[in-house]
Structure 1
Amino acid sequence: MSRHAIIKAVLGPVMRLMFRPRVEGVENIPGTGPVILAGNHLTFIDSMIMPICLDRPVYFIGKDEYVTGKGIKGRAMAWFFTSVGMIPVDRDGGRGGVAALMTGRRVLEEGKIFSIYPEGTRSPDGRLYRGRTGIARLTLMTGAPVVPFAMIGTDKIQPGGAGFPRPGRVTVRFGEAMEFSRYDGMDRDRYVLRAVTDSVMAEVMRLSGQEYVDMYATKAKAA
């Protein structure tokens, strides 16, 4: 049994009891082949809930500090995060964005599911912020379809992304798959990248019902 299966078997029932996730539109996710999941990011627990909602393993990038801790606690954290599909990447370095993009490309070329938050960070206030164009580059480089999704209610069970989440009800809503083959060979055209990204974010906004802010979340946090 894989580590993903073990985590799902052990933690799945507990998380379902605590968060009672309602999953909508899961039939929109292809059963095989590469898939990009692109959605909003409200709180830390988003990436923990997603894996228990799908039969296929889901991979995503995370800060390498989650797997570099020392001692028993550090090893336990590393085992847990890698088991739920996290791939550690140094996102704080000058080449962090490139490393994240290449990691996603590798996962997709292996025919797996790669989940990404186009906002690049958690929303500071529950609104949906402008998406970064890495999502567009990934789909145009690999040809993988994009399935938009919305996490709803996770900010209520873990406000601010800190502390142990409290019991509550969350919804994970998947939209119809989007493909952008009409833009083949244009993954370096910044206007195309922006158009693809904005179309994905428009679907995320429709699914989540969030207010949209045409500003990067990192800029909003800095302000």
Structure 2
Amino acid sequence: MKVTVGGSLKLAFRPWVEGLEHVPAEGPAILASNHLSFSDSFFLPAVLDRKVTFIAKAEYFNTPGIKGRLTAAFFKGVGQLPVDRSGARGAGEAAIKSGIEVLERGELFGIYPEGTRSPDGRLYRGKPGGLARVALATGAPVIPVAMIDTEKIQPPGKVVPKLMRPGIRIGEPLDFTRYQGMEHDRFVLRAVTDEVMYEIMKLSGQEYVDMYATAMKRQIAEAAKAEKEAGRAARAALAQAEKEQAAKEKAAERDRPGEQRSEP
């Protein structure tokens, strides 16, 4: 499945890649990438000779029906690992456990430190819980990765993807073994995460925003909701004003004296 999907993506989109030499031919490593598009988890594995395992929502694997089974088969084929995200803390722990298991098998583990896709193409603050804890628990090197222009291929609301060349820049591995055994120190976790995000920023050229992408998405959603409510209120006020004006005009018409008839 990986060969089929990867080959099709490479043929159709011809992604360019820099820094392939930084990915080890064998042994465990963490690929920490920015996250611009749903397709990031497909383009990165497509340019590598080794399998990369990413975490994916469990819903992709347990949806009933033929479509659900095909979706599950596809995600399994491209190396996606299901994690139940119904509870935030439980989901985080499950993702960390899964990542450690992948690395202990000597494989590549892919992770998005931002925790979700960027809402506007900028790079957001990395969450310290997952990436740093997995890196410190396993001693695996962290390889920063920058996805370039993948968000332009299929913007929100577009069904048919645009045929264009996305890019992938892979940086030099980062060694955090000096912090091993300190995976529960929040200051160390923050420092490790920030160092990785800085390298991703240099590779991607993105503007950095020192807040979580999830918080920005909430702000955008709240602003959209407020704008919608303001529009609804404005329309209601306009309708009321028109109604009142119509009532005034009707009253004025009713109260206007009739024309005097002239005497013969």
Relative to structure 1, the CA distance from residue 212 to residue 161 in structure 2 (aligned partners, 3 Å threshold; closer, same or farther) is farther
Give, in whole Å, the separation in 2 of the partners of 1:177 and 1:57.
Answer: 18
Deviations 1:139-187 (A, max 9, x none): 1000000000000010111113863422111111100000111112111
What's the counterpart of residue 64 of structure 1? Answer: 58
Q: How does 1:38-117 map to 2 (within 5 A)?
A: 38-94=32-88, 95-117=90-112
* 1: CA distance, partners of 2:72 / 2:164: 27
Tell me the residue number matched to 2:11.
17
For residues 187 and 157 of structure 2, the distance between their equivalents in structure 1, rounded to whole angstroms, comes to 33
1:149 maps to a residue whose letter is V
C-alpha separation in 1, matches of 2:158 and 2:184:
37
Question: 1:3 matched to which residue of 2?
Answer: none
Give me the whole-angstrom Cα distance separating, in 1, the residues matched to 2:7 and 2:26.
25
Q: Report if the CA contact (8 A) 1:18-1:166 is conserved.
A: no
Segment drifting more, 113-122 vs 96-105: 96-105
What is the CA–CA distance in structure 2 between the aligned matches of 1:137 and 1:11, rounded to whole Å?
31
Residue ranges of structure 2 left out of the alignment (5+ in a row): 220-264
Percent of residue pairs identical:
58
Note if 1:176 corresponds to 2:196. no
Q: CA–CA distance in 2 between the matches of 1:116 and 1:161?
A: 25
Match of 1:136 among 103, 128, 132: 132
Aligned pair count reads 217
Moved over 6 A (4+): none
Supply the distance in 2 between the matched residues of 1:110 and 1:161 (Cα, whole angstroms).
39
The one-letter code of the counterpart of 2:52 is: V
Larger radius of gyration: 2
TM-score scaled by length of structure 1: 0.94
Cα pair distance change 1:162/1:109, threshold 3 Å = farther
Alignment partners' CA distance in 2, 1:125 and 1:139: 28
CA RMSD of aligned residues (A): 1.2
Aligned to 2:102, the other structure's residue is in SS state helix
Flag structure 1 segments of 5+ consecutive residues without an equivalent. Answer: 1-5
Bigger shift: residues 150-159 or 162-171? 162-171
Local SS of the residue matching 1:159:
coil
